[in-house]
Amino acid sequence: MVLLLHLLAGKRFRNTLLLAASLYFYAWGETLLVAIMLVSIACNYGFGLWVAHARETGGRAKLAVGVAIAFDLGLLIVFKYANWLWENLQLMFGSQAAPLLGWAHPSDLFANAIGTGEGHLRLPIGISFFTFQAMSYVIDVYRRDVAAQRNPVRFALYISLFPQLIAGPIVRYRDIAVQLAERTVSRDEFASGVRRFVLGLGKKMLIANTLAVPADAIFALQPELLPANVAWIGILCYSLQIYFDFSGYSDMAIGLGKMFGFDFLENFRHPYVARSVTEFWRRWHISLSSWFRDYLYIPLGGSRRGSARTAMNLLIVFLLCGLWHGASWSFVVWGLFHGGFLVLERVGLGERLRRLPRIAQHTYVIVACMLGWVFFRAADIEQAMTFIGSLFGTRGFSFESQPLHAFLESPAWLALLAGIVGSTPWYSRLSERVENCESESRLFALTATARVGGVLLLSLVFGLSVMLLAAGTYNPFIYFRF
């Protein structure tokens, strides 16, 4: 319905329509918590104008951008980390934490409308995404990379645009500033968006959701029932699940953006084919890693102040990257785990890796990432360490007490195979070759056949995905906590 109305609305009313639809969709899932996003929009709109005015008049621009960053981080800390910080203070000081600090429990400071009813604040969906977008906008205005947006509808649409609001990618204002003011939707771009959306939907519904079933079942096993072979299958399933879940959402966002005339940047470039952990982070969640690079790592000094300072900067960045993903010590460990590998690769490990055969480099990356995903998936550090112990044989191997067919039925095996093959760039390379063949008349028939086959394949993927949605099959949303 929104696509149809967007087509009929004309250029003058398209932004207003998309803003209304975005707020409606967000309120559908969050009810009164939409007010938090509206407050963020209003305040950051004002901060942008304040920073721009201070820049133009020689005022205190640093103060303005400092207030903006403090506000945005404060919003994030209150709603995402207050419960976690409170729980850790309780562990440190026991029942004396509240009278010692003069604090009430975070959920007691707000109305029941934004609490869970269980003594916790509700986490607004997508708060990390729209907060980081708002911060990047104000900082870019301060750096004079962009002009402050004076049209409140355009700014509000930038923050709340529904295709990427709740699961990314993190879109920077400078990348879509022109498109907010003027954009066209061509037939070819719309068709490209449809194809990209269906591909992402298939990734999520057919691969990620299918592999989530054995992954969740294996991680739920008691430690004494978790032999090494089952543990490795479990973390393999989860490694593919999280990749196809998140890259699937990114594909859907990019596809929807194209349908509405927006061109979002790529967020994933086949990270599992990387040959170092450093390269992995150039391919994984690109919008987040580039955000931390431009707004934290480089301002801290980057790699310009010696090896020790570079190592410290990397560890700070990845500690905060871990915390961005969730308020848990296991996320902190996951972030430092990856940061540690980047430090090691800078001080010599990377050079040694380049001397190894490609298969050894790929194996190193896959194993390192899978071990890291254990901390990401586990409920806490204790479960993560126990699971890693099982991976390395502390509970032996067993093909009888826990047979693999108990976790991997036919759909899961098929999804596992599709996930492994789909993690490689074969599809994109094939698409490029088909596009390049169009100019050669002798290959026209082959190109036409490939296009028809592609349409049929995408139709099948779309039909199966809709059937699974209609059937109400298992549909976890990993990134709800972000």
Q: Which domain holds residue 135?
A: 11-183
The verdict on residue 455 lying in a domain is no
- Active-site residues, by number, are 325
Domain boundary among 371, 388, 415: 415
What is the spatial distance between Cα 238 and Cα 247, in angstroms, rounded to a whole number?
A: 14
Q: Please check whether residue 290 lies inside any domain of the structure.
A: yes
Both 99 and 128 in one domain: the answer is yes
199 and 293: one domain? yes
Q: Are residues 171 and 197 in the same domain?
A: no
Give the tens place of pLDDT for each residue, 56-92: 998 899 999 999 999 999 999 998 988 888 888 878 8
176 shares its domain with 217? no
The number of domains in the chain is 2
Confirm whether 352 is domain-assigned. Answer: yes
Q: Residue 79: how many CB atoms within 10 A of its CB?
A: 21
Mark whether 93 and 148 lie in a shared domain. Answer: yes
User: Averaged over 403-415, what is the pLDDT?
Assistant: 79
Decide: 318 and 338 in contact? Cβ < 8 Å: yes
Contacts of 327 (CB under 8 A, 6+ apart): 80, 81, 83, 84, 85
What pLDDT was estimated at residue 93?
Answer: 75
Tokens 């990209």, residue located: 196
Residue 370's φ and ψ, nearest 5 degrees, are -65, -40
- The count of other CB atoms within 10 Å of the CB of residue 242 is 20
Is 222 inside a domain boundary?
Answer: yes
Q: Is residue 467 part of a domain?
A: no
My answer on whether 240 and 213 are in the same domain is yes
User: What is the per-residue pLDDT across 435-468, written as a single tens digit (0 to 9) for each?
Assistant: 666 555 555 565 667 678 788 989 999 999 999 8
Cα angle: 47, vertex 48, 53; to 5 degrees: 95
Q: Are residues 379 and 329 in the same domain?
A: yes
Contact 364, 372 (CB under 8 A): no
Shared-domain flag, residues 380 and 297? yes
Domain assignment of residue 445, yes or no: no
> What is the tens place of the pLDDT at every residue in 188-200?
999 999 999 999 9
Task: Check whether residue 160 and residue 229 sit in a common domain.
Answer: no
Please report the pLDDT score of residue 111 as a whole number: 47
> Is 135 inside a domain boundary?
yes
Residues 283-321: pLDDT tens digits? 999 999 999 999 999 999 988 888 999 999 999 999 999
> Are 220 and 334 part of one and the same domain?
yes
Q: Are residues 147 and 16 in the same domain?
A: yes
Tokens coding 205: 């519904």
Domain boundary among 392, 415, 438: 415
